[in-house]
A and B are shown apart, each in its own frame.
Chain A
Amino acid sequence: MRRRVAITGIGIVTSLGAGKAANWERIIAGNSGIRPVTRFEAGKYRAGNAGQIADLPAPSWRRVRRSRLDFASHLLLVAFLEALGDTGLSPDELAACAPIVSLGTTLGGMISGERYHETYMRQGPSRALPSLVADHLAHCQPLHIMEEYSLPGVPVLFSDACASGANAVGHAFRAVRCGEVDVAVCGGYDALCEFVFAGFHSLQALTPGLCRPFDCRRDGMVLGEGAGVMFLEAWDRAGARGARILGELIGYGESTDAFHMTRPDPDGTGAISSMRSALADAGVEPDAVGYVNAHGTGTPFNDAMEAAAILDLFGKRGEHVPVSSTKSMIGHLLGGAGAVEGIITALAVREKRLPPNLNYRTPDPACGLRIVQVSERAPCLDVAISNSFGFGGSNATLVFRSPTGDGG
């Protein structure tokens, strides 16, 4: 059984704001959510900026004790609530659907983990709060959402580095498409913390300047934080209950480089395989793709590899396919990246508009892509792909189609 999969709910929170309307408006306007880090003392680092969320609307928890939760749980709930609102389902109706909950993160509640370890180290084990342990563990954030909304079952949580969110969405997509479930809650999240900031600093992967994906002067990434949640639903079921269909997810591909823990395979073999298998899964040819939301971290290695892979996939047309990276505006959301960027891709297809790639000034001849520098109208845009490539060589590609498309 292969059913069509509708997107009936979208929730997003990034440093550009909470909500898809705010994010889309600011992305199209070319606004940047990158600002000086204030969550921890960042002056000691070579880089001091990130896509840190300034004002998170306080989510209202009904059952779970709010004060005990990691910031990552709050991010996830904000995105979940917006997406749930789109679906038109009441919490009871959602629980009755017994949806699969499939999420991605890299380090879960690491802010709590940092606090626990610092107290443990400086004041002794007896002073460290046991509640921080549960908040730190990555599987607890999905469990908090499920507890809050009485969702049955056991969550599926992926930690495939920067491809976590895309793989979580892909897994949910397969579960709905094959009839395993009718409704899926999926997405990804990560909160900015010093542990991760220091980690990427130690790898010399952070830029002290601007994130410039595919630009000749690119010299590193900028971290961000946020969450993206989608509700996927069997197309016919969504139509039958009169749900508003926001987009269609039509394909998912994945592969592994098996090359190096932190560096991508420069040949781009894994990235090409991921994109090819996603398009084959969707049953569309590369010629149908009108936009690529690139992984585009702004690091020399990733962008060169990804550009080569895109050119290989599209052949002669490769130089003309519009490409942009959302990370130039919101930073790298790690476990949240694949989900949030997937959502931006779905919105681009829906709105027939291409999001820009900020800070692209000097084309890199080695990349040779058609980078979208300012937002453009794309009235013929029907199919787009979103790439996510992570540590450990994990590659994932999602394929989105306009909800007004013919459905092929």
Chain B
Amino acid sequence: MSAYITGIGIVSPAGIGMDDFASAIAVPPRPEAGFRVPAFGLEEYVGNPSSFRRVADATKFTLAAISMALSDAGLERDRSRVGREGLLVGVTHGAIDFSTRFHQGLLLEGPQGASPLHFTESVLNAPAGNAAIAFGIRGPVHTMIGEETVGGNAIGMALSLLHSGELDRCIVAGAEEWVDIVVNAYDRVDRARGMLRHGSDPPVPLGEGAAALVLETASVDSRRRAASRGTIRGVVSRRLQPPAMSATVEEAVRAVIGTAACRMEEIGHVVLPTGRNRRVVEQGTARALGERAGGIRWIDIAPHVGNPFGAAGLMQVAASAARRAEDAGKCGLVLICGIEGSFFAVVTGSEGR
């Protein structure tokens, strides 16, 4: 199963928009930049920004990323689009800022202090629901919950929906927002799990942002004569469990390359995970690639965007797509790994007009 990527939208600490993102990750990171998205407004991304002026950051990032992806795909964002269209949004924590504000109001002032606005935006499907309203998406709209790998879940489900004929086009998005309590929580979890000990695989700090891809099947893509940002050629998922984590990665990499009808020597670049277990993923992949591993470009977006959890996998795919010109005729290998051991390997291609 494969699909064309006909549009990409990015909201990241490294830049807003695919061009800024691609330029930023091509050079060494600026340590002072941090992992927060610069302030921006929704005016240029949605037709009725006043309707979304009170949304949580996770929703705001999602709306902007989807708007950019639709524009990039040559699709009108304010009118009904042709064909059956769906939206899958991957989220890990959701709008924690609004959730904690709602709960704080409840704890400090009782029920009268709990704002319905905060509650409505704290539900995990708020980004997807708002995006469906903003862009008039009336087909399947789902919020998928998971670790950093949830973007892989969304891509896999999108491919199924496209190839079963349920949809002509599927927008996949992922979003995350930076909140103190989440930073603190992972610091405590990492300490409890011994991840901050000397010599361990150090976790990447929390990032934020959103990424969106417009995926279409070859037939729809050619019918529309859309420009292509590349392809998704295959997806494989596994659970990594000690002590065989690295071996499982090695097997999964071989499997996805087979699924994508690709050869090891066609791999032009590898995009590393932003989540936990980065070292075992790198080791297992290097073993799968064998001697070729040294000649391949290894891309790490974590120093640029941190670990944007729900948005991680799709930002990684965007980073792979950004290499399309340099790796023409080759494939990319995107490795997405989560804190609880979920793992996705995605093969991207440079095909398309």
- Could you tell me which A residues sit within 8 Å of B by CB distance? 44-45, 105-108, 113-114, 116-118, 120-122, 125, 128, 130-131, 133-134, 137-140, 143, 146, 152-161, 167, 171, 174-175, 178, 180, 194-195, 198-203, 254-262, 270, 273, 390-394
Contact = CB atoms under 8 A, between A and B. Distances in A.
B23 interface: no
A391 B129 contact: yes
Given A154-B149, A174-B164, A138 B124 contact: yes
Contacts of B132: 256-258, 392-393
B340 A391 contact: no
Contacts of B153: 154, 156
From B87, B103, B238, residue with most partner A Cβ within 10 Å: B103
Contacts of A255: 138-140
B138 A273 contact: yes
Contacts of B219: none
Contacts of A194: 106
From B99, B145, B149, residue with most partner A Cβ within 10 Å: B145
B116 A199 contact: yes
A128 B340 contact: no
Contacts of A138: 124, 145
A341 B140 CA distance: 21
Contacts of B141: 160, 256, 258, 392-394
A202 B115 contact: yes
Interface string B147-183: 1011011000100100010000000000000000100
Interface stretch (B32-40, B187-195, B299-307): B187-195
B120 A203 contact: yes
B250 to A, nearest CB: 16
Interface string B84-126: 0001000111000001101110110011001110011011111
Given A154-B153, A154-B239, A157-B145, A203 B119 contact: yes
A11 B100 CA distance: 34
A345 B264 CA distance: 50
B188 A133 contact: yes
Nearest to B188: A130
Nearest to B129: A392
A146 B144 contact: no
B340 A140 contact: yes
B124 A106 contact: yes
A261 B140 contact: no
B106 A258 contact: no
B142 interface: yes
Contacts of A256: 87, 132, 137-141
A117 B133 contact: no
B188 A125 contact: yes
A173 B106 CA distance: 40
A270 B340 contact: no
Shortest 6 CB-CB contacts between residues of A and residues of B:
A392-B129, A199-B119, A159-B124, A130-B188, A202-B116, A256-B141
Contacts of B146: 139, 154-155, 157
Nearest to B241: A147
Contacts of A258: 132-133, 135-138, 141
Nearest to A110: B99
Nearest to B146: A139
Given A203-B119, A258-B138, A128 B188 contact: yes
Given A133-B186, A156-B157, A256-B139, 20 more contacts: A44-B110, A121-B104, A133-B188, A137-B93, A139-B145, A152-B239, A154-B153, A154-B237, A160-B128, A161-B123, A194-B106, A195-B103, A199-B102, A203-B116, A256-B138, A258-B133, A260-B133, A261-B120, A261-B130, A270-B138
B344 interface: yes
Contact of B191 (A114, A118, A130, A195): A130
A118 B116 CA distance: 19
Given A202-B111, A256-B132, A114 B103 contact: yes
Contacts of B138: 255-258, 270, 273
B133 A261 contact: yes
A295 B182 CA distance: 35
Contacts of B114: 198-199, 201-202
A155 to B, nearest CB: 8
Contacts of B237: 153-154
Contacts of B186: 133
B91 A159 contact: yes
Contacts of A201: 111, 114
B348 interface: no
Nearest to A256: B141
Contacts of B115: 202
Contacts of A260: 133
A107 B120 contact: no
A154 B194 CA distance: 24
From A105, A122, A138, A392, residue with most partner B Cβ within 10 Å: A392
B344 A158 contact: no
B246 interface: no
A359 B185 CA distance: 45
Contact of B344 (A137, A154, A174): A154
Contacts of B111: 44-45, 198, 201-202
B120 A153 contact: no
B143 interface: yes
A178 B107 contact: no
B278 to A, nearest CB: 18
Nearest to B135: A258
Contact of B125 (A113, A146, A394): A394
Nearest to B340: A143
